[in-house]
């Protein structure tokens, strides 16, 4: 099949292009050229912020377009230019489009955030509204029968540019103190989920080349945080001990949640966010989503980082010095 990837050169997009090439599809990637497209794909250089960016690709017919953008203006212009020449449009969205993350097991019919009216986000805090506006643009132009919307959960696996999904396996592989302790939030029921970018890429290609349409939650299997830590320890072949820290104490020490510097990745303290990583994936599974075991994703991520380096060494989690200091502080506080 003839597939146009709007993107296809960064992390997930590159994996989608590779997955499609493995299945012998004819793949074109359109991007500005910050990174190369995979070997075997045709590359079209264009900046989607320019009005006529898609002129060249809108002269051809496509079996499917896969769009990885988050800026509504880019998607509004793309569906306008490509609807006449593309049979199907697959939009890579996010579970951040949902208005609430309180319910565990919520499906795709849950209320969405209001769509962003502007063509560009003022900042990443508008990401959910922006993706919601992109979804609307795709559905308005292509209709339910010619569109597939992939609402992805947290993506992990080899090469995660944020370094956040590999934090725990990396911690177990290289503990920060001599006692081999790993500081973790005391949150035994916190759901975590990571979808491997390779599984997500295969699913996106299946949607682009198959008949399934509509919206799909695409998340990894939900594991409570202690099970994620067990999988990370096993993948790292580590015997390090988890030291659970009370959430209120972590707040007091200004440890942040989810991602970013001085954070404990995957941690959400607010119980009304516990549904974020535990949504129903029934529709996606019925449409062909298959997931590899978490331990495989974490083991492969660790091996990738050992070989290629940590992509964002200070971008996610605690540094060694921060973790050592916090462990010592917690031990003193608990005496």
Ligand X SMILES: NC(=O)c1ccc[n+]([C@@H]2O[C@H](COP(=O)([O-])OP(=O)(O)OC[C@H]3O[C@@H](n4cnc5c(N)ncnc54)[C@H](OP(=O)(O)O)[C@@H]3O)[C@@H](O)[C@H]2O)c1
**Binding region for ligand X (CB under 6 A):** 7-13, 31-35, 46-49, 68, 70, 92, 94, 152, 154-155
Closest approach of ligand X to the CB of residue 58, in Å: 14
Mutual angle of helices 197-209 and 11-22, in 10-degree steps: 60
218 vs 229, beta carbon nearer ligand X:
218
Q: How far apart are CA 333 and CA 255, in angstroms?
A: 16
Smallest distance from the beta carbon of 111 to ligand X, in angstroms? 18
In angstroms, what is the minimal distance from the CB of 53 to ligand X? 7
- DSSP assignment of 250-293 equals HHHTTPEEESSBTEEET----GGGTTTT----HHHHHTT-----
Q: Which residues pair with 220 in a beta bridge?
A: none
Pick the closer one to ligand X by CB: 13 or 158. 13
Number of helices (H), then strands (E), belonging to the chain: the values are 10, 15
Sign of CA dihedral 256, 259, 260, 261: positive
Q: Which is nearer to ligand X, 176 or 277 (CB)?
A: 277
Instruction: Give the shortest CB-50-to-ligand X separation in angstroms.
Output: 8
Between 155 and 255, whose beta carbon lies closer to ligand X?
Answer: 155
Q: Which is nearer to ligand X, 41 or 330 (CB)?
A: 41
Half-sphere exposure for 298 (CA within 13 Å, toward CB): 28
DSSP state of 20: H
| Least gap, CB of 330 to ligand X (angstroms) | 29
Contact 110, 99 (CB under 8 A): yes
């Amino acid at each position: 099949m003839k597939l146009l990837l709007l993107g296809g050169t960064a992390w997930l997009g590159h994996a989608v292009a590779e997955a499609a090439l493995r299945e012998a599809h004819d793949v074109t990637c359109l991007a500005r050229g910050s990174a190369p497209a995979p070997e075997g794909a045709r590359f079209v250089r264009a900046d989607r912020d320019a009005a006529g960016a898609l002129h060249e690709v809108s002269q051809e017919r496509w079996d499917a377009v896969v769009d990885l953008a988050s800026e509504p203006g880019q998607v509004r212009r793309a569906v306008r230019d490509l609807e006449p020449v593309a049979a199907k449009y697959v939009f890579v969205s996010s579970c951040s489009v949902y208005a609430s993350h309180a319910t565990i097991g919520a499906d795709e019919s849950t209320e969405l955030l209001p769509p962003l009216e502007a063509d560009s986000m003022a900042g990443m805090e508008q990401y959910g509204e922006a993706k919601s506006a992109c979804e609307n643009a795709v559905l308005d132009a292509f209709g339910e029968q010619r569109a597939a919307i992939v609402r992805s959960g947290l993506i992990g696996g080899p090469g995660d540019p944020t370094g956040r999904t590999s934090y725990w396996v990396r911690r177990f592989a290289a503990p920060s103190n001599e006692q081999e302790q790993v500081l973790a939030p005391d949150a035994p029921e916190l759901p975590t989920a990571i979808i491997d970018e390779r599984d997500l890429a295969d699913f996106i290609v299946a949607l682009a080349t198959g008949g399934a349409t509509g919206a799909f939650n695409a998340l990894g299997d939900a594991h409570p945080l202690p099970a994620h830590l067990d999988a990370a320890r096993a993948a790292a072949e580590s015997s390090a001990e988890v030291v659970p820290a009370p959430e209120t104490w972590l707040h007091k020490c200004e440890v942040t949640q989810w991602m970013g510097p001085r954070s404990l990745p995957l941690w959400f303290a607010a119980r009304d966010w516990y549904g974020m990583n535990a949504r129903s994936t029934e529709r996606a599974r019925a449409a062909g989503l298959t997931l590899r075991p978490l331990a495989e994703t974490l083991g492969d991520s660790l091996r990738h980082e050992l070989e290629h380096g940590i992509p964002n060494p200070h971008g996610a989690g605690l540094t060694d010095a921060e973790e050592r200091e916090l462990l010592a502080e917690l031990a003193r506080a608990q005496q």
